[in-house]
Amino acid sequence: MGLTYRDAGVDIDAQGRALARIKELARQTFTPGVLSEIGSFGGLFSLNPQDPASPVLVASADGVGTKLKVAQRAGVHHTVGEDLVNHCVNDILVQGARPLFFLDYLATGKLDPQVTVAVVEGIARGCREHSCALLGGETAEMPGFYQPGEYDLAGFIVGVAQRSQLLLPERVKAGDALVALPSSGLHTNGYALARKVFFEKLGLEVDSYVPELGRAVGEELLAVHRSYFAAVWPLVEQGLVKAAAHITGGGIVDNLPRALTPGLGAEIDLRSWDVPPVFRLIQKVGDVPEEDMRRTFNLGVGMILVVADEDLGEVLARLVPHGPGWLLGRVVEVPGVHFVEADGG
């Protein structure tokens, strides 16, 4: 029997059930400034909800997941901080926000100053690239809680958006185009399954060269989570994007619907892109079912923009200098994500 994400220790369905209860608890705390439900990529808060012209704060929190295990195994700590910042920036970008400031949390059993500095160097680099202030954070030393050499990392970002520029599902309609932007690899999701395949099933080490990948396992798995801010923000400012989805844990299947109203769905053309070799290798070696691949990995699609059909040509042209996007599919009137093999792009 093939491997699934659940076999690797991650149950996405259980997470969904927990989130439903968490939404109920969070809703009990809402004040008039809250403009979003739990479950959006970023939470929306207005300092003056009665004023439509008042700026909206957009906040998000995330981690790097078990990609940290790869970094710790490789002894490479200067990239995971950048992963963290880019992930958080993308999460508020798809709400229509630009970053203002960032906070980090690093927890370890015994503090290693060199490792800590390397991690924070990556965080600072990511913040500088987005003109985002690193205001501070927390470094927690917790003996007995983490194994030697282990640490965990989380980040918290706050950005700002004009209320008129918010990217919202309510702006989307059937027939709108779905534009995909390529990922730089696994980004920060699916590592429990990827590690199981590469390190347990194949018995490789981080410095093992893999011909199908054209580089060592560690280089592939530690490729920095791509930030889409430089490519997408000008489109947001020009009003060319209606909604967007950051394709993280849950893949296209679980993330794209977050950019759509419940009555709408998406038709995805499987022939519109070539899935990168790393994902095909994981699927082949782990005998991972296609459905689990689609709910675990981004499969080469890191972000999806929803744009009006009449704006499609301009959007694709503007993306070219940043690494081209492509027409992935269309918004349809049938809820859910439907994978098809269309005759043409």
Q: How do residues 289-315 score in pLDDT, each as one tens digit?
A: 999 999 999 999 999 999 999 999 999
Give percent above pLDDT 70 in the chain. 97
Per-residue pLDDT, 2: 73
Domain 31-165 belongs in CATH node 3.40.50.1000: no
E-assigned strands of 196-289? 209-210, 215-216, 243-246, 265-269
Tokens representing residue 303 in the block: 């972000």
Q: If residue 185 lies in a helix (H) or strand (E), which one and from where to where?
A: none
Average pLDDT, integer, range 13-40:
87
Domain 169-340 maps to which CATH number in 3.55.40.20, 3.40.50.300, 3.30.43.10, 3.90.650.10?
3.90.650.10
Per-residue pLDDT, 12: 65
Q: Which residues contact 97 (CB under 8 A, 6 or more apart)?
A: 42, 56, 58, 159, 160, 161
Domain with CATH 3.30.1330.10 in the chain: 31-165
CA dist 237 and 257 (Å) reads 23
Which strand ranges, in their side-by-side order, compose the sheet holding 56-63?
43-46, 56-63, 151-161, 98-108, 133-141
Of the two residues 13 and 152, the one the predictor is more confident about is 152
Domain with CATH 3.90.650.10 in the chain: 169-340
CA dist 55 and 32 (Å) reads 15
Per-residue pLDDT, 320: 97
Per-residue pLDDT, 28: 94
